[in-house]
Amino acid sequence: MRSAVLTLPWLVLGAGLVAAALAWGADRNPGEIRLASTIGPVDAGIVGALEEAYLRKTGVRVTHVGAGTGKALELARTGDFDLVMVHARVLEDRFVTEGYGIDRRDIMYNDFVILGPAADPAGIRGERSATAALTRIAKARALFVTRGDNSGTHVKEMELWGAAGLKPLGDWYVVWEKGATGNAATTRYANERRAYVLMDRATYLTLKKNIGLQVLVEGDRELLNFIAVIRVNPSRFAQVSAEPARAFVEWLVSDEAQRIIQSFGVDRYGEPLFFPNSDAWRAKHGAR
């Protein structure tokens, strides 16, 4: 048994992405739950692991489309998905406020890091402040790659530039045209360019053995990366599988699913890729 997945390539962005996703969604089986998920957890494998565990437990299949957070929320606004998994709070709150989503739940978190070449031309290694590191990169005009696609990773990066009081512009700041393909592809591209990049730690760990980029900045609380699920509002879209989606969300915040998150990746990478973060988990085990 395996979960179905459609992580769409960069060539079908925008209207093409929406059309392809809707065509996929129209062919789903009765009782199936449709998830629009940010790409990072898909690439890391945790989305598939949770889907497969739920299928084994309940017999209910969850299928997903992988897209950046902004695009995932755009897809959900069509009503052809039952829930989203995303990581950009400002976009999440807008989705709920506009009436498209209900019942936002914290699921898990990890953190972002600033990766860069070993030579570290901007001299940011060991810097504890992400905004100070970005300021040094900008001052040095050292090559920096951005996804530039309104994904959760891109939104976090823009928040950090804003907190630093900077608007990155110039040849040194590379908006990668294929950034919407996701964090793994963006990291590989930054590695090819020997550039700095803001990236989630899970992506780095999965690629660590095959890239030369190193973690140069980490540990700033502003780099925490919170991942949540939001159900699509059934009052707005009659076609939404409301009860199956609700049941799946309740399972995601349960101790069983949270323990899957806690252990995921430890055997392969020596450390977890994500940390459990449901309200019930925090109440039982303490806040992050």
Residues 183-211: tens digit of each pLDDT: 999 999 999 999 999 999 999 999 999 99
What is the rounded average pLDDT for all residues in the chain?
Answer: 92
Task: Tell me: pLDDT of 8 over 80.
Answer: no
Is there a contact between 78 and 22 (Cβ–Cβ < 8 Å)? yes
- The domain spans of the chain are 5-109+226-285, 111-223
Q: What is the pLDDT of residue 9?
A: 42
Q: What is the pLDDT of residue 27?
A: 59
Class for the domain spanning 111-223 = alpha beta
Task: Tell me: pLDDT of 279 over 80.
Answer: yes
Class for the domain spanning 5-109+226-285 = alpha beta
- Degrees to nearest 5, angle at CA 185 with 216 and 208: 45
Q: Where are the alpha helices (DSSP H) in 107-226?
A: 130-140, 152-163, 183-193, 201-207
- Band of residue 7 on the pLDDT scale cut at 50, 70, 90: very low
Which of 21-30, 87-96, 254-263 bottoms out in mean pLDDT, i.e. has the lowest? 21-30
Query: Is 5-109+226-285's fold the same as 111-223's?
Result: yes
What average pLDDT does the segment 22-39 reach?
A: 75
Q: What is the pLDDT of residue 30?
A: 65
Q: What is the DSSP letter of 83?
A: E
Q: What is the pLDDT of residue 286?
A: 85
Task: Tell me: pLDDT of 13 over 70.
Answer: no
- Band of residue 4 on the pLDDT scale cut at 50, 70, 90: very low
What average pLDDT does the segment 70-90 reach?
A: 97
Is there a contact between 70 and 149 (Cβ–Cβ < 8 Å)? yes
Q: What is the pLDDT of residue 288?
A: 65
Q: By three-state DSSP, how is residue 4 classified?
A: coil
What average pLDDT does the segment 105-126 reach?
A: 98
Q: What is the pLDDT of residue 278?
A: 97
Q: Where are the alpha helices (DSSP H) in 141-200?
A: 152-163, 183-193
Q: How far apart, in whole angstroms, are the C-alpha atoms of residue 126 and residue 220?
A: 11
Give percent of the chain above pLDDT 70. Answer: 89
Matching residue, tokens 């989305």: 47
